[in-house]
Amino acid sequence: MLSVIPNPARVALPIVGTSDFFPVRRVYCVGRNYAAHAREMGKDPDREPPFFFMKPADALQIVPAGAVVDHPYPPLTENYHFEVEMVAALAMGGRDIPITLALDHVYGYAVGLDMTRRDVQDEAKRLARPWDLAKAADASAPIGPLHPVSAIGHPVRGAITLAVDGTERQRGDLSEMLWSLPEQIAYLSGYFELHPGDIIFTGTPSGVGAIRRGQTMVAAIEALGDIRLHVV
Ligand code: MN
């Protein structure tokens, strides 16, 4: 039997310091996972259990180390926002993974951006509609190379920042997550069987805002370096 169309490409993340790669299966994202960001979105951070959404894996935009890549401004938004996030990549899956064992499932970490059509998201919230059109735009998940746990361990504190044209716009610390990565893995694995190749965007600190064509974003995490994107 033959495929009747060209096989869709599998997205794969480069791994720092090697020519190996990490093929991606699913992209999970946690919402409002830093208190100051929850407040800036008009929510009380103390009362909500974690919630998740997904982006399609082919929305990942690979940003090689040291490169400045062109990031396409998507159609049908006038308010396209950056959200810098740490991304965890799973080497092992499972169901109902206990919090205490969750980190054993992580292969490595990368710097990512959860790019968002905020105007479309605001409309979706108002009309109680799904977030896909806001969160799943083509190229809406820029991501840098993976740093293996074997090289850097598990980053649980350290600065996470985003600058636009040299001006810092977001700053937080990984230790400020409302739901830790082990808690996110445990919670998600109750709803889905997780698999090797799944990645998790772990939330953004406060300071999210709009980006325009012609501007350059630098997203950085202390243990993971930075990624650079020029919006076109
Ligand atoms: Mn986000």
Q: Residue 161 belongs to a domain with what CATH number? A: 3.90.850.10
Residue range 89-142, pLDDT digits in tens: 999 999 999 999 999 999 999 999 999 999 999 999 999 999 999 999 999 999
Residue range 164-205, pLDDT digits in tens: 999 999 999 999 999 999 999 999 999 999 999 999 999 999
What pTM value is reported for the model?
Answer: 0.97
Counting Cα atoms < 13 Å in the Cβ hemisphere of 39 gives 8
Distance of CA 63 from the midpoint of ligand 1 (Å): 18
Q: Which amino acid is at 149?
A: V
* Bridge partners, residue 171, by sequence: 161
Residue 97 within any structural domain of the chain: yes
Distance of CA 77 from the midpoint of ligand 1 (Å): 17
Q: Which domain holds residue 192?
A: 12-231
% residues pLDDT > 70 (the chain): 100
Strand 68-71 to 80-82 pairing: unpaired
How many independent structural domains does the chain possess?
1
Distance of CA 3 from the midpoint of ligand 1 (Å): 36
Residue range 4-23, pLDDT digits in tens: 999 999 899 999 999 999 99
Distance of CA 197 from the midpoint of ligand 1 (Å): 20
pLDDT at 37 over 90: no
Residue 182 within any structural domain of the chain: yes
Residue 5 within any structural domain of the chain: no
